Amino acid sequence: MKKQGDLLLPGDELSIIEEFTPGEGTYEYEGKVYSSVVGKAFYDMINRRSNSISFKKPGFLPLKKAKYVIGLVTNIKEDSALVSVYSIEEKPLNVPLTGYIHISQIANKYLNNINEALKVGDIIRAKSLNFSLPLPLTIKQKDLGVIYAKCSICGTKMVKKDEEHLRCPNCGNIESRKIALLQVKKGGN
* Number of residues binding to Zn ion, judged by CB under 5 A: 8
In sign, the C-alpha dihedral spanning 175, 144, 90, 100 is: negative
Residues numbered 123 to 162 that lie near Zn ion (CB under 5 A) are: 151, 153-154, 156
> Least distance to Zn ion from the beta carbon of 175, Å?
9
> Least distance to Zn ion from the beta carbon of 83, Å?
24
DSSP string, 117-184: T--TT-EEEEEESSSSSSEEEE--STT-EEEE-B-TTT-PBPEEEETTEEE-TTT--EEE--B--PPP
> Least distance to Zn ion from the beta carbon of 123, Å?
17
Of 61, 170, 174, 182, the one binding Zn ion (CB under 5 A) is 170
Q: Which is nearer to Zn ion, 174 or 182 (CB)?
A: 174
Q: Which is nearer to Zn ion, 81 or 158 (CB)?
A: 158
The answer, yes or no, to whether the previous bond of 134 is cis (omega within 30 of 0) is yes
With beta carbons less than 8 A apart as the criterion, state whether 137 and 126 touch. Answer: yes
Of 69, 168, 179, 180, the one binding Zn ion (CB under 5 A) is 168
What CA–CA distance (Å, rounded) separates 178 from 176?
7
4 scored as a contact of Zn ion (CB under 5 A): no
Of 1, 9, 171, 182, the one binding Zn ion (CB under 5 A) is 171
Binding residues: 151, 154, 168, 171
What CA–CA distance (Å, rounded) separates 150 from 4?
34
- Judged by the rule CB under 5 A, the positions of this chain that interact with Zn ion are 151, 153-154, 156, 168, 170-171, 173
